[in-house]
Structure formats: C-alpha cells, structure tokens
Amino acid sequence: HENVSGFYRVSVYFIVKVLFDIIPLRTIPVVIMSCIVYFSTGLNPGAQHFLLFMLTLLCTTLAGAALCFLASAMVREFAMAQIILALVCILMMLFGGFLISFDSIGPWLHWAQHFSFFKYALSALYINEFKDRQFCDSNRTYCVTGDHFLQDQQIHFREDWDFWQNHVALLVYACGLLTLAYIQLRYMKKTP
C-alpha cells in the first residue's frame, strides 16, 4: 500500500526488509544457538571448527530465509504460503540426505538432491565434524574413521574446495531466491 501511495519504492522496501531481517532475526540467534549447541554436545574441538560450524548454519539460515521471502512474495495468503513452504522443505529434506541417505534415492530422482539446500548444509557440517577424525569405543577395541563415514555418505571431502563449494552453493541459492523474490515484488500487480 505504501508503494502504491508513492511513499517509497519496492527496491527500498526490499533492501530494508532483507537487512533488518538478516541481522537481528537471523544472525544473532544463529550465533547464540551455535555457542550453546556446539560446546554442549562436544563437537569437533577447536576454534576453527566452531567458526565453520557457525558459518554453515548462517549460510543455511540465509538460504531458508530467502526461500521464505520468495514464498511470501508469490502468495498473498499466509496459510497457503505456509503449506507451500512446508511441502518444499519436506521434499528438500527428503532429497537432501536429511531424512534418508543418498543411496535410498532412486537413480531417476538422484538429480533432485542438487535443488536442496539441506544437502549442502549437511555435507558441510559432516565434513567439518568427521574429516580426519577417528572414533573408537570405550575400550578402544573397535575404531572407525570419520573419512570412512563420509565415503559411505557419498560426500566428497578430500580437497578444501569440497568443503567450500557447499557454502558457495548455499550463498548462490540464497542470492538466487532473493533475486526472484525481488523480481516478484517488483512486477506484482499493485492494488491500493
């Protein structure tokens, strides 16, 4: 309504909405939650692993927020947007390796994993936690390496780029969805 009345342009609204949504509502909770979860669950020790964990969660949150922006820009009814988002998120969890392993997905649907931001987030978190680590039972009679687990999950982890490509994919995903949301807002029919 403010745009139709000429108070401000869509671009100003969108930039302010994104900035004030990302900083207070996305970044601060991720930092707080990362501090609580990471140290209370005993994940891979070290400041570098903690910061990479927090970065991965932040990139995942940005991708999720961008998806929500797009859904709210496309659908006028709040209930319908929630239904669409729930369906999309369940499909992304299913094909992203969160609910079932990649082996369980048939070859004819294997391509769908590349559209799931959960795949990239999970891969980055797995690499950060399991790469070059060894896990043994209490009396050290049976040990397994984290690298073996990553191979079983079909996650590429040998090179540094194997880790960073997940973050690049999450940021491209977020930027692409934000661009689509802006285009949708820019060209939607304006009614007073």
Name the residue among 41, 36, 33, 42 with its Cα closest to residue 61: 33
What is the separation, in whole angstroms, between the first and last Cα of the chain? 6
* Cβ-proximal residues to 169 (8 Å cutoff; 6+ apart), any chain: 117, 120
d(CA 181, CA 85): 14
pLDDT digits (tens, 9 = 90+) for 115-172: 999 999 999 999 999 999 999 888 888 889 999 999 988 889 999 999 999 999 999 9
d(CA 54, CA 27): 10
pLDDT digits 0-9 by tens, 15-64? 888 888 887 888 999 999 999 999 999 899 999 999 999 999 999 999 99
State which H helix or E strand residue 10 sits in: helix 10-22
